[in-house]
Amino acid sequence: MERTCLAIILAAGESTRMKSAMSKVLHPVAGRPMISHVVEALASASISDVALVVGRDAEAVSAAASTGSVTVTSFLQKERLGTGHAVLAAREAIARGYDDVLVVFGDTPLITAAPLKEARDGLAAGNDVVVIGFQTPDPTGYGRLIVEDGTLVAIREHKDATEEERRITYCNGGLMAIDGRRALDLLDRIGNANAKGEYYLTDLVEIVRSLGGRAIAVEAPEEELTGCNTRAELAYIERLWQQRRRHEMMLAGVSMIAPETVFLSWDTELAQDVLVEPHVVFGPGVRVESGAIIHAFSHVEGAHVGAGATVGPFARLRPGADLGPKSKVGNFCEVKKAEIGAGAKVNHLTYIGDAFVGAGSNIGAGTITCNYDGVNKHLTRIGANAFVGSNSSLVAPVTIGDGALVASGSVITDDVPADAVAFGRARQEIKPGRAPVLRERYEAEKTAKKKVKAAD
């Protein structure tokens, strides 16, 4: 029979070292709270019973953890007395009786299913406590794993470690699996006689051994267990996350010319044969279909880019931008909450907001949809195969029919019927032979000014 499992996420810490007005587990990695990444990893390891220990910002942390299919039950740790104390906040859940109890930290967002599974395999193999460790050249701050003859003898917190122990580079990743039948008994034995006066979860190793049980450490890649205590570590974690996801995307058929300059969100979807040029930023909610090209220096957020469409260079797609297949949004264009039909072109220096642009239409350089009157937003509808001349202002609400033509420089305030031509500007006047007259006058003015200056 399959072993039952309860995961406990610890997220009640004060986040003192983060120096922030909010709990560190709410700080985003790839545009989503750290804690959501941890829950996602549990889901991908098919762990569905999750207890979340919250303290600071309890409501917001619980909300951020309730993502996807996982049911998360929150437990409040009223005082912050350490990781050992925190786990016991979920006493009620542990008491339900599970084969495996898995403790993970809310501040290790790069964790994946693999080490979670390894930890549980260690329990299935008959160990009482399994700790996931990692090797790092810079172990400062981490608890050190003291291993003798293949068994884990103790975990020594940095602050409590001797000089010699501090030289150990094998560290506690904060992921611990405990025999669920013994968990409460073991946890209740943790004391607080240490440098910080806290109840350390890590003491479980020595406790279980003193009772004749066995603890082991299993090594996992450092990257997955990198913990976030400071802003500098947050930036490092972001970098690792980005590297990992870019790599996955490239292996899945996405081309990136300079991947290290492309920034993805947790939910960015790029189809096979999408090309992303250097210096592109994807905010949340982006889906790009096959064959599309995102040219350099574009910023794309909450947008859908259809197959074979091109974006940029220097384009901004804001939430609700929906680009049809083979459409084009070119340099210095901004599109918000607008559909750009198949093959339509918005090539230069344009703002399209709250609008529909029909298939095959051409929107000239500098066109602006004037969607906002200072109070309300209004819609602009442009039909199929319409042509809007350069530097036109389309004052919404307004409709431009299929095949219509708007003269360049127009301010369009009334609807334009299909196939009509609209001029919305003053007519040009010609004054034959007038240029030399004007020029003479200007020269005279200049000379007069010079004379006044000399007299001063």
- Nearby residues of 230 by Cβ (< 8 Å), 6 or more positions away: 17, 18
Which residue from 98, 200, 241, 263 is in contact with ligand UD1, where contact means CB under 6 A? 200
In the bound state with ligand UD1, the residue whose beta carbon lies nearer, of 77 and 392, is 77
Residue 12 binds which entry of Ca ion, ligand UD1, none, with Cβ cut-offs from 5 to 8 Å by kind?
ligand UD1
Q: How far is the CB of 45 from ligand UD1 (least distance, A)?
A: 18
In the bound state with Ca ion, the residue whose beta carbon lies nearer, of 180 and 227, is 227
User: Which secondary-structure segment (H or E) carries 336?
Assistant: strand 334-340
In the bound state with Ca ion, the residue whose beta carbon lies nearer, of 123 and 228, is 228
The beta strands (E) that lie in 341-434 are given as 345-348, 351-357, 362-363, 368-370, 380-382, 387-388, 393-395, 398-400, 405-406, 411-412, 421-422
In the bound state with ligand UD1, the residue whose beta carbon lies nearer, of 13 and 353, is 13
Which residue from 5, 6, 12, 178 is in contact with ligand UD1, where contact means CB under 6 A? 12
Q: Which of 282, 283, 307 is CA-nearest to residue 293?
A: 307
Quote the crossing angle between the two packed helices 34-44 and 58-65, to the nearest 10°.
Answer: 40
User: According to the binding rule CB under 5 A, does residue 143 interact with Ca ion?
Assistant: no
Distance CA 178, CA 374 (A): 60
Instruction: Clarify whether 299 is annotated catalytic.
Output: no
Specify the amino acid at residue 15.
Answer: S
The answer to whether 342 and 324 have CB atoms below 8 angstroms apart is yes
User: According to the binding rule CB under 5 A, does residue 334 interact with Ca ion?
Assistant: no
Is the backbone of residue 65 left (phi > 0), alpha (psi -120 to 50) or beta? alpha
In the bound state with Ca ion, the residue whose beta carbon lies nearer, of 34 and 406, is 34
Residue 13 binds which entry of ligand UD1, Ca ion, none, with Cβ cut-offs from 5 to 8 Å by kind?
ligand UD1
Which residue from 66, 135, 229, 393 is in contact with ligand UD1, where contact means CB under 6 A? 229
Exposure pattern of 10-28 as b/e (b: 16+ CB <10 Å)? bbbbebeebeeeebbbbbb
Query: Within positions 26 to 85, which residues make up the interface with ligand UD1, using CB under 6 A?
Result: 53, 77, 80-83, 85
The residue with tokens 């008959």 is 126
Q: How far is the CB of 103 from ligand UD1 (least distance, A)?
A: 9
The answer to whether 51 and 170 have CB atoms below 8 angstroms apart is no
In the bound state with Ca ion, the residue whose beta carbon lies nearer, of 57 and 107, is 107
For 91, other C-beta atoms within 10 Å of its C-beta total 14
Query: Within positions 104 to 133, which residues make up the interface with Ca ion, using CB under 5 A?
Result: 107
User: According to the binding rule CB under 5 A, does residue 227 interact with Ca ion?
Assistant: yes
Burial class for 75, CB neighbours closer than 10 Å (0-12, 13-18, 19+): buried
Give the number of residues in contact with ligand UD1, rule: CB under 6 A: 29
In the bound state with Ca ion, the residue whose beta carbon lies nearer, of 109 and 306, is 109
User: According to the binding rule CB under 6 A, does residue 227 interact with ligand UD1?
Assistant: yes
Which residue from 75, 134, 142, 263 is in contact with ligand UD1, where contact means CB under 6 A? 142
Which residue number places its CB atom closest to ligand UD1? Answer: 143
User: Which secondary-structure segment (H or E) carries 339?
Assistant: strand 334-340
Q: How far is the CB of 35 from ligand UD1 (least distance, A)?
A: 9
Residue of 27, 295, 348, 378 with catalytic role: 348
Stretch that binds ligand UD1, among 5-13, 232-240, 314-322, 405-413 (CB under 6 A): 5-13
Distance CA 419, CA 435 (A): 38
In the bound state with Ca ion, the residue whose beta carbon lies nearer, of 38 and 368, is 38
Distance CA 57, CA 69 (A): 23
Residue 77 binds which entry of ligand UD1, Ca ion, none, with Cβ cut-offs from 5 to 8 Å by kind?
ligand UD1
Q: How far is the CB of 112 from ligand UD1 (least distance, A)?
A: 16
User: According to the binding rule CB under 6 A, does residue 172 interact with ligand UD1?
Assistant: yes
User: According to the binding rule CB under 6 A, does residue 174 interact with ligand UD1?
Assistant: yes
Q: Quick one: CA dihedral 153, 159, 163, 167, positive or negative?
A: positive
**Which SS3 state, helix, strand or coil, does residue 268 take?**
coil
Given the rule CB under 5 A, which residues bind Ca ion?
Answer: 107, 227, 229
Given the rule CB under 6 A, which residues bind ligand UD1?
Answer: 10-13, 53, 77, 80-83, 85-86, 105-108, 142-143, 155, 157, 171-174, 200-202, 227, 229
Point out the residues that are catalytic.
Answer: 348
